[in-house]
Chains A and B, each alone.
Chain A
Amino acid sequence: MSVIIDNLPLFGEGMLRTLSICLWGGLGALVLGSLLAVCSVTPVPILNRIGTGWVATMRNVPLAVVLFFFAFGLPEIGVRGSYFWFGTSALAVYTAAFVCEALRSGINAVPIGQAEAARALGVGFGTTLSQILLPQAFRAAVPPLANTTIAMIKDSALVGAIGVGGDLFSVADTLAATRGLDVIPVLAGVVIGYLLIIAPTSALFSLAVRKAVLR
């Protein structure tokens, strides 16, 4: 127990670092993933193929490979940046595929009759999209988005491991490997740190699910 209490500031900093990786990575993934989802639902084949290609790649290639490609491959062609930005952008590029899948599954969950009814009533395309289809699609997309977000929070440990440093995983590494402290309390501290991030996130999402279903 004393290991956790003595190093409380370090654990706190680790949590903040993990949070900032997740925040930037999540923001990037949301923007990129939404764009990809738009690409994969338009009736233009070439845009569909960009969407499906991206998703297939990220589904089959480990995040570690994407991370190392970004952090050590891109500098070779003159892309400069800190490990933090390489790490978070790799995380964003990787997670975007799963965000895209979540949004797309949401859109596919809307019964086709909804759109047909709207068209039959003479509602325009923009209004159909914003008033009828997207609200229902977002509701269906919330549970898979929750899973994606929690998976991303856990993946952020890997971003810390490639040399970004300072996040919860690196704290564990420093305390257990470099300073040689007892492993079990360090593990407990780190897991509590992740729990403190994941539990509110997942509570927030289940609140969103309940709101979305009730409305």
Chain B
Amino acid sequence: MTGSPSVLFDRLGPRGRHRTRIITAVVGAALLALAAFIGVRLQQSGQLEARHWSPLFNPFDPQFATVWRFLLGGLGNTASAGAVSIVLGLVIGTAIALLRVTALPCYRWCIVGVTEFFRTVPVVISIFFASRALPVIGVDLPLLWYLVIGLTIYNSVAISEIVRAGIHAVPRGQTEAALALGLSRGGALRSIVLPQAFRIMLPSLIAQLVIVVKDTALGFIIGFEELRRRGEIAVQTLGNPLQMYLLIGAIFFVVNGLLSWLARATEARVRGAGRAARRSSAPRRAGSRV
């Protein structure tokens, strides 16, 4: 940021740079003091003792393998709940978006109303009620599926908005050209508009996956053993909630950080591919004899 002008600050001069150095020193000192304070607090309350950290971080600890196998199992559960939810959400979300795009105006209000309704329901509530209401009407499922259903309800609505934005981002001329070539409305949507829309919305979909993975942590409401719940169970024997939740947070940070990075990389690629396509299509159009 230093040196590059923003809307608020011009490029810094010598005085500005001097001030920046002073602020950096002061803030750095304050952060060090804070770290030292936390360190002393940890020391005083006995949280730095090896027995709190070693089962999580020391590979030679006898409990290390068991704890990590347990936690990675939880991460696996988190991943499968997230994966199933995003796939189901994608299918249902696309269906909702298509219904909304193609429906007659009188039905469209109905779809908008339903999606707006489900947007206001907290995800925790939908998971909780999926696990309570479905057995009442005679649907008994493994816990994973209650979590998946609860997550899918919210995510299909969120994804339908992404899909709708993606469909609107495809230039109108594409549909018009497809119709002019004799494709039906459905055919144009299926083989011309949707493939392009999916490419445009891929980054947003991966970003939505991050949200889904975060929301799987709500599985504790129904006792599903995702990563965070497994951590909570392990704490009951290890007695180190502080260290455990730090570790769980770090695992989520790494996994979701990788997904976010993937989303950004895809976005750059999609944008780059779009530019390349435009570049290469220009000369082709000029010399086209077809």
Residues of B participating in the A interface, judged by any CB pair closer than 8 Å: 1-2, 5-10, 12, 16, 20, 23-24, 27-28, 31, 38, 41-42, 44-45, 47, 117, 120-125, 128-129, 132-133, 136, 210, 214-218, 220-221, 228, 232, 235, 240-242, 244-246, 248-249, 252-253, 255-257, 260
Contact = CB atoms under 8 A, between A and B. Distances in A.
Given A44-B27, A157-B125, A194-B120, A65 B133 contact: no
Contact of A41 (B6, B217, B221): B6
A87 to B, nearest CB: 13
Contacts, number: 168
Nearest to A162: B220
A113 to B, nearest CB: 9
A129 interface: yes
A46 B28 contact: yes
Interface string A142-162: 000000001000111110010
21 contacts: A41-B6, A43-B20, A46-B23, A47-B27, A61-B253, A64-B228, A69-B242, A72-B235, A74-B242, A76-B242, A77-B38, A110-B7, A112-B6, A154-B123, A157-B124, A158-B124, A182-B136, A187-B129, A191-B121, A191-B125, A198-B120
Contact of A73 (B41, B241, B252): B241
Interface in A16-66: 41-48, 50, 56-57, 59-66
The 6 A-B pairs with the shortest beta carbon distances in the complex, nearest first, are: A62-B217, A60-B256, A154-B122, A73-B242, A69-B245, A157-B122
Contacts of B221: 161
Contacts of A119: 10
A172 B122 CA distance: 12
Given A46-B24, A59-B256, A133-B8, A184 B133 contact: yes
A190 B31 CA distance: 44
Contacts of B244: 73
B249 A61 contact: yes
A40 B130 CA distance: 41
B125 A172 contact: yes
Nearest to B124: A157
A64 B42 contact: no
Given A60-B252, A60-B255, A60-B257, 11 more contacts: A43-B2, A43-B9, A59-B210, A65-B248, A69-B249, A77-B38, A77-B47, A107-B7, A157-B124, A161-B221, A169-B122
